[in-house]
Amino acid sequence: MSLIMCGRPWQRGRWIQGLVLVPFCFLFPQSLQYDLPRVPIGLQWEAMISAQNRDWHRLAGPFVRPVEMASRETGIPPMLLAAVVFVESRGQARAISSAGAIGPMQLMPTTAMRVLHVNPWQIQQNILGGAVFLQDLLKRFHGNLTLALDAYNAGPTRVASGEPLPPSAVAYAKTVEALLQWAKAGTQAAPLQSRATTQL
């Protein structure tokens, strides 16, 4: 005699009920089925950044999150923004140049407030303003990164006119581009140094 026949009637009933219901589990709408917790989008985005590209975090210093947010807002690669931040301020939130440019992205207060419409004394807005300005320069110079960086340092009017740039502007662009390549390569070499300052 089988185990099914030997069991009590209520046990046989539950066993048969299980056989009947199991196939229907696969017919339920997906919304009614138990779903495992999903990984938050932010964590997924973090996981997509390869280990080698995390070298740009070293360039961004304490401004990794603001740089990431500005990158998402403007589409400028975070590595590029981090390289600009490093050359501009070396991670100093209250950095002020001799020309009066302030903050991580060294924005001139007048340019920041009247043109970029950001508060240059607020870190997130400072970095976002710099990212927006760089985005506009890349559009103006048809994606030419060197010219955009020259313009970020020496001013777009001077670059557009074709007049010779000061050596500091040329060194500035080369330094930012070198740091960008360093971050992309994921090397362990020490970041380059530069004395270039921003004058928007």
Residues tagged active-site: 88
What distance in Å separates the CA atoms of residue 151 and residue 50, rounded to the nearest whole number? 31
- The Cα 170–Cα 152 span in angstroms is 11
Q: Strand, helix or coil at 33?
A: coil
CA pair distance 178, 88, nearest whole angstrom: 14
The CA-based diameter of the chain, rounded to the nearest angstrom, is 101
- Give the chain's length: 200
Report the DSSP beta bridge partners of residue 107. 102
8 A C-beta contact, residue 139 and residue 111: no
